Structure 1
Amino acid sequence: MYSNVGGQPGAAMPTASPPMNPFGNSLYGASSGLIRGGLGAYGEKILGSSSEYVQSNISRYFSDPQYYFQVNDQYVRNKLKVVLFPFLHRGHWTRITEPVGGRLSYKPPIYDINAPDLYIPFMAFGTYVVLAGFSLGLQGKFSPEALNWLFIKGLLGWFIQVALLKVSLLSLGGGEAPLLDMVAYAGYAFTGLCFAVLGRIMLSYSYYFLMPWTCLCMGVFLVKTMKRVLFAEVRSYDSSKQHYLLLFIALAQLPLFTWLGNVTVNWLI
């Protein structure tokens, strides 16, 4: 806005500026810097400790997930032979160790037949669901709800098996084995279930032979594995208690396999 001041038309009207505070900017900058620095250090401390806590617990309970998928065709064939025919396994059952970073570490499955993997359990679980759904279709009982129930039923059976192995270790004062080891050992049960369900599809009477056989083989495999591999981490335990627990693990396979194998008659049971 222009006005006529001092006889000079069009001159700009000077505006008043706020009083200068020589301490304002310095105090504001110092306070904001302290706030930002303090919050940053505090946040970094919280996030850093949280990250270290999460990483330490993941490494303790879940180990390295990539470790369980280092497999090849030869390992898969040999591992299936050990799981389905444990009586024919003439080698040792202990895992092979190697020095890594100044400490001993287990070799991955591709170099050790006794190492647990998650490739076979996941593939077997998916095959089990597909074969069970196909079996329901042959009986005229297939439905999306039935397939969903088979999926949930398989996961529930897997969880029960993991809990059984974990509780057995805890009862002996152990439990330091990685959780994914338990998940892998428990998931091998679906390999035998796949053969049993496939036998029922191809020849119904063969199911009554394959189911007890795969159940027995899985019991022997878990007993050998728990005794030679997992229980080796328990420093002190009662031998009689160990034998009872091993027997209980083997006997528990029969009701579990029977329940998971019942996929054609009354799928809601």
Structure 2
Amino acid sequence: MYDNMGAQSGVPRPPYPQSNPLGNAFYGAGSGLIQGGLGAYGEKILGSSSENVQSIISKYFSDPQYYFQVNDQYVRNKLKVILFPFLHRGHWTRIAEPVGGRLSYRPPIYDINAPDLYIPLMGFGTYVVLAGFSLGLIGKFSPEALTLQFTRGLLGWFLQVLLLKSSLYSLGIGEAPLLDIVAYGGYAFTGMCVAVLGRFLWGYTYYFLMPWMCLCMGIFLVKTMKQVLFAEVRNYDSSKHHYLLLFMALVQFPFFIWLGNIGA
């Protein structure tokens, strides 16, 4: 397996920048604490050695610090791709480079098509804040109501990841890094925030923005998942895979409506 769901072609590695505050915050000790801590728990609970548990973590979760190597330019461009995917004129294929004798995908700061966790986490946090404002405007704000909305958001994210992961698994891509799928599923909160914010500006805007964001997220997932299928599936069944991609896109409509129904 190639790193981060495989790769088909390599390109020369460009010189890395001297500083990247967002990425460096998760380098070194942070990544070691994550893997070391989970390895210790695995050794205690499962009776496996830390090395074995950490190898499993690396296999299915990839490298956590990879997903936070972003900068302002990447965030701006990525938001454009998520919110206006039909305007993206470039390719949707992730770029790979040779590292240590094998091909590895370039980090988000160098590849607009790479998944990241910065935007999904910021989108989820913004969604919770906007949900709190919405509850206040309709006179239903309370710590319990906000906690319920927070839990609904987490459950929605989990269901989105479960949908994508199970779909890919059914097509024989069971070893896709979980954090890739978590990132793709979390991008939905970006469009959700836009729709909820539109409700603040003018109530009727919500009824236009919500289906629009559903459509854009559906297009984004179809374009993204297509590249995963082309890269990983050897026997490509166009009919079966197209129906699956269409199903992924259609599911975004009830998913968005459910998350956007704040206070119900």
* 1:140-151 superposed matches below 5 A: 140-151=139-150
Q: Is the 8 A contact 1:173 1:237 kept in 2?
A: no
Secondary structure of 2:256's partner? Answer: helix
What is aligned with 2:6? Answer: none
Q: Which moved more, 1:152-161 or 1:49-58?
A: 49-58
The question of 1:213 aligning with 2:212 is answered: yes
User: Structure 2 CA distance, aligned partners of 1:229 and 1:167?
Assistant: 14
What is aligned with 2:16? Answer: none
User: Structure 1 CA distance, aligned partners of 2:80 and 2:218?
Assistant: 15
Which of the two has higher C-alpha Rg? Answer: 1
Q: Tell me by how many angstroms 1:236 deviates.
A: 2.3
Percent same amino acid at aligned positions?
A: 80
* TM-score, length of structure 1 as denominator length: 0.79
Secondary structure of 2:49's partner? Answer: helix
The question of 1:256 aligning with 2:255 is answered: yes
What is aligned with 1:41? Answer: none
Q: Tell me by how many angstroms 1:229 deviates.
A: 2.9
Secondary structure of 1:93's partner? Answer: coil
User: Structure 1 CA distance, aligned partners of 2:216 and 2:149?
Assistant: 23
Can you list the C-alpha shifts for 1:189-231, whole angstroms capped at 9, x where unaligned?
0000000000111110000000000000000000000001355
Secondary structure of 1:104's partner? Answer: strand
User: Structure 2 CA distance, aligned partners of 1:244 and 1:179?
Assistant: 23
What is aligned with 1:238? Answer: 237
* 1:30-41 superposed matches below 5 A: none
The question of 1:107 aligning with 2:117 is answered: no
User: Structure 2 CA distance, aligned partners of 1:207 and 1:249?
Assistant: 23
User: Structure 1 CA distance, aligned partners of 2:65 and 2:149?
Assistant: 28
* TM-score, length of structure 2 as denominator length: 0.81
What is aligned with 2:55? Answer: 56
Q: Tell me by how many angstroms 1:237 deviates.
A: 4.0
Number of corresponding residues: 220
User: Structure 2 CA distance, aligned partners of 1:263 and 1:49?
Assistant: 44
Name which structure has the greater RCO, CA cutoff 8 Å, separation 6+: 2
User: Structure 2 CA distance, aligned partners of 1:94 and 1:229?
Assistant: 8
Structure 1: give runs of 5+ residues left out of the alignment: 1-45
What is aligned with 1:18? Answer: none
Structure 2: give runs of 5+ residues left out of the alignment: 1-42
Secondary structure of 2:120's partner? Answer: helix
- Ranges of 4+ aligned residues in structure 1 off by more than 6 Å: 46-49
Q: Tell me by how many angstroms 1:53 deviates.
A: 1.2
Q: Which moved more, 1:89-98 or 1:230-239?
A: 230-239
| Residue type of the alignment partner of 1:84 | L
Can you list the C-alpha shifts for 1:147-174, whole angstroms capped at 9, x where unaligned?
0001000000000000000111111111
Secondary structure of 1:77's partner? Answer: helix
User: Structure 1 CA distance, aligned partners of 2:228 and 2:104?
Assistant: 14
Secondary structure of 1:91's partner? Answer: coil
| Residue type of the alignment partner of 1:171 | S
Q: Is the 8 A contact 1:83 1:217 kept in 2?
A: yes
**RMSD of the alignment, in Å?**
1.5
Q: Is the 8 A contact 2:230 2:236 kept in 1?
A: no
What is aligned with 2:192? Answer: 193
| Residue type of the alignment partner of 1:83 | I
Q: Is the 8 A contact 1:60 1:178 kept in 2?
A: yes
